[in-house]
Structure 1
Amino acid sequence: MYVVLEGIDRVGKSTQIELLKKEFKDAIFTKEPGGTEFGKKIREIVLNDSISPIAEVFLFLADRNEHLEKVIKPNIKRLIISDRGFISGIAYAHIKSNLSYEKLFELNELALEEIFPDKIIFIEIDKNELEKRMHIEKLDSIEKRGVDYLLKVQNFMKEALNRSNIKHLILDANDDVLKINKKIVDFIKKG
């Protein structure tokens, strides 16, 4: 089963991934971008260089396909848990490039060779909590775009998620960390 945790920066995905590693010891844990050597290079470019919006879209799509070939396909019969996937890809790309959902979905469908996640867990956050969390540590170039930018991305993520036909669970980042974890574990275990 292929499961993706989605959400903007600072919602607690990394915390939940660490907790899930204790629960699902035999699972493959990965992330987009950065789940492959190629992806690490893409991540470095996108987070540190100033590139055009369309170039950024194509870099993420290239990473998504490489990730599919190197991580997803070889482990498709196992439990795969990914920190981010195509929903994030569509949302960030839409906000930055203004390409339509339909065009971005078509490009992601091509990059994923129509192998979509079985389940998606979406963690959302409100503006007040996001503002608090933005002051905890150094911001990367995407986070430096600001709270309003991230909330626009989050709204489009939710729209993209609701337009997909993929089983999903929507969680509130303000809830207790362990309560969120229990809901995620139950959702993954429930066939």
Structure 2
Amino acid sequence: MYVILEGIDRVGKSTQIELLKKEFKDAIFTKEPGGTEFGKKIREIVLYEKEISPIAEIFLFLADRNEHIQKVIKPNIDRLIISDRGFVSGIAYAKVKSNLSIEKLLKLNLTAMEDIVPDKIILIKIDESELKKRMHIQELDSIEKRGIEYLLEVQKIMEETIKKLSIQYLLIDAKLTIEEINEKIVDFIKKV
């Protein structure tokens, strides 16, 4: 089973991934972008190349996505694979940056993924007041510096994208305790 855990920065994805590693010891854990050596190079280019166009950036991430499908997902398709982010994030960030439609971005992503989609998607959602609280806890990265409105717009597109798909999904409120969120995620993954 292939599962992706989605959410904007500060929702607690990293914490949940660490807890899931303890619960599902035999699972394959990966991430997008950067789940392969090629993906790490793509990530470096995108993070540090200032003059890259939005469409060029989309195609770099699509290249990473295909490499991830080839090197991580296909070889392990019979195992439990849990990915920290996936194509839903890719679509949301690309839509905000390029203003291409969700439908067009979905088509491009499905091509890159060779129509191999997750069996389940989990989205941890956060509201504005909680996000404001969490933004003051530690130094902001380059994405977080784009602001709360930007992040909430990305989150809105993530949810819209998920609801357009025929994939089982779970929406979780980030204000729940770490333990409550973990319990919901584990139950959802185990549910047949």
TM-score for the superposition, normalised by structure 1:
0.98
* Larger deviation, residues 129-138 vs 98-107: 129-138
Tell me the residue number matched to 1:119: 120
Q: Which residue of 2 aligns with 1:148?
A: 149
Separation of aligned partners in 1, 2:139 and 2:115 = 36
Which residue in the other structure is 2:108 paired with?
A: 107
C-alpha displacement of 1:49 = 2.6
**CA distance in 1 between partners of 2:107 and 2:41 (Å):** 25
Residue identity (%): 74
- The SS at the match of 1:105 is helix
Query: Where do 1:54-69 residues align within 5 Å?
Result: 54-69=55-70
Q: Secondary structure at the match of 1:140?
A: coil
The aligned residue for residue 32 of structure 1 is 32
Once the two structures are TM-superposed, the CA of residue 15 in structure 1 deviates from its matched residue by 0.4
Q: What's the counterpart of residue 176 of structure 2?
A: 175
Aligned residues: 191
Aligned residue identity for 1:66: E
Question: Where does residue 5 of structure 1 map in the other structure?
Answer: 5
Q: Which amino acid aligns with 1:106?
A: K
Deviates more, 1:46-55 or 1:167-176: 46-55
Q: Given the alignment of the two structures, is residue 91 of structure 1 paired with residue 92 of structure 2, yes or no? A: yes
> What are the ranges of 5 or more consecutive residues in structure 2 without an aligned counterpart?
none
| Superimposed CA distance per residue, residues 97-124 of structure 1 (whole angstroms, 9 cap, x where no aligned partner) | 0001111011001000000000000000
CA distance in 1, matches of 2:130, 2:45: 29
The corresponding residue for 2:72 is: 71
TM norm structure 2: 0.97
Could you say what secondary structure the match of 1:129 adopts? Answer: helix
